Amino acid sequence: MPVAWHELPGWHADKPQAAWPALLSSCQRPPPAWAKLCDKAQQSPPRGEAQIRDWLMRNLQPYRVESLEGTAGGLITGYYEPLIEAQRAPGGAFRVALYAPPADLATRRPYWTRQQLDTLPAAQASLRGREIAYVADPLDALVLQIQGSGRLRITETDGSRRTSRLAYAGHNDHPYRSVGRWLIDQGELPAGQASWPAIKGWVQRNPARIDELLWANPRYVFFREEPLPDPAIGPRGAQGVPLTPGRSIAVDPKSVPYGTPVWIDTTEPLSSTPLRRLVLAQDTGSAIVGPVRADYFWGWGGDAAEQAGRMRQPLRMWVLWPRDPLSPAVRPAAR
């Protein structure tokens, strides 16, 4: 629904210069309606906060995002890029393997479930030789699979250490099931309190039930290892461009096209401080479904993990679209 700029809460308090690099990244793979404007942004970029805000207001039109039923309220969660200790070869506590896609992954739909991969000899044989590295905690492996990427601080077989990135390379074609929701349904955690710290606390109290917890989520994710020449560059999202901490979100691309600037109005999970800022729709996820739904990329490191693990906040959002007339294919998505 088209709105005036003053209807975006906190619009003049944000620092759009911090979002500009993310916008330029999206312009590497722009939606068709953005091609001309991206050329303009790259060839004659504005300078400084005031110029960037003025550029956005002159070239874009804000639209409040609603469901088809007219609901403007939604949900925002958080995600991050984990940094996990790993070994190239199994040994000691490091026994939980992270795998590259099996050779026959495309020939069997759906593929083996998580439980089958852990227990059936035929399923386990499909993973033999596909090991990338080993971690010590099965919950760390699950976190990597849920987040879709991560960084490994690997001890090589010769004792040297290096940091590399694991990128998403496919899954077993089974639906994602939240282990937090499973704990709530089992009466193990109160409703609304299935944060990652709470899940880890439950595992510490119930170590014998770790497999039961993991198998509640049949989806299994496979990875590919990539070099990490610049630790300041985030992982690539579904749009195919690097994610920017605090300025990238995952969306449902059926509702919000990749590369769309989005104004979000929510709160930070640990302090309830208003979180109102310009972000870019650059990623998606299996749990991100519907128009007023987003997953906020916090970055990497301990603080990012803490924020992302507890984020489940009310959300309102607005998309910013070029002032050129919208095509019929885009108009319903911007409602």
Q: What is the pTM of this model?
A: 0.82
Q: How many domains does the chain have?
A: 2
**At CA 82, angle to CA 77 and CA 87, rounded to 5?**
155
CATH code at position 265:
2.40.40.10
Q: Domain range for residue 13? A: 5-78+234-334
C-alpha span between 277 and 300 (Å, rounded)? 19
Domain match, 109 and 222 both: yes
Sign of CA dihedral 250, 252, 254, 256: negative
Domain match, 218 and 88 both: yes
What pLDDT does 275 receive?
97
- Mean pLDDT of residues grouped by 10 in the chain (335 residues)? 96 96 96 92 93 97 95 95 95 97 94 97 97 97 92 96 94 94 95 86 96 97 93 92 97 96 96 95 92 96 88 96 59 39
Which of 165, 196, 226 represents a domain boundary (last residue)?
Answer: 226
What pLDDT does 286 receive?
80
Domain match, 73 and 90 both: no
Domain match, 155 and 172 both: yes
Domain match, 123 and 219 both: yes
Domain match, 222 and 277 both: no
Domain match, 157 and 248 both: no
Domain match, 186 and 278 both: no
70: left (phi over 0), alpha (psi -120 to 50) or beta: left
Domain match, 36 and 144 both: no
What pLDDT does 324 receive?
63
Domain match, 90 and 175 both: yes
